[in-house]
Amino acid sequence: MKIVILMASPNENGSTSILADNFKRGAEQGGHEVEMIDVCKLSISPCIGCIACGYEGDCVLDDDNAIVRKALLSCDMVVFATPLYYYGMSAQLKAVVDRFCAYNSSLNRRHLKSALLSVAWNSQDWTFEALAAHYKTLVRYINFEDKGMVLGCGCGSPSMTRMTDYPQKAFALGSSL
């Protein structure tokens, strides 16, 4: 299986990358091909809602989103890896998700598998409610098959994250595919 991880943390060596790297290692050990795309290093403009794409065509915005589009339309699974920013995904990932508009039908037809990896400083039991709801809505709308979520509470720094069982949970999720 070909897996694309959309890495969406502007902190290159942060807690999100710990989960993503562990997931990748687990999936690769299971024989899967994994490509990690650091969306924070790409130049991707927000969707302007012009609908010139007709929900299934070329976007009028000529930027690096073409890289993401090509990868997602040729893979079997997408993994959203994002820190929790004010109870949602990072702005960089949100821009990518909003641009799904131009290839919405193609994504729906692909029936991709998906997963969510996220970390947060907060450790309250409600910390990930909004992000998890958004992810589950995407899964339902775009016809993804959810393979799981690793939601790391209390992962405010890499050292904090390494002391939890969340890196192992991410590895296990990747290994289980």
Are 17 and 47 spatial neighbours (Cβ–Cβ below 8 Å)?
A: no
DSSP string, 7-30: E--SSTTSHHHHHHHHHHHHHHHT
Residues of the chain below pLDDT 50: none
Could you tell me how many helices (H) and strands (E) the chain has, helices first?
7, 5
User: Does pTM top 0.85 for this prediction?
Assistant: yes
Token digits of residue 112: 């991709």
Q: Residues 20-51: pLDDT tens digits?
A: 999 999 999 999 999 999 999 999 999 999 99
* pLDDT score, position 9: 97
pLDDT of residue 172: 98
pLDDT at 148: 98
**pLDDT (0 to 100) of residue 145:** 98
Domain parsing of the chain, residue ranges = 2-175
Q: Specify the pLDDT at position 159.
A: 96
Q: What is the dihedral of CA 106, 107, 111, 115, to 10 degrees?
A: 170
Query: Which pLDDT belongs to residue 83?
Result: 98
Q: Quick one: pLDDT at residue 146?
A: 98
State the fold for domain 2-175.
Rossmann fold (3.40.50)
Tokens of 96: 């990518």
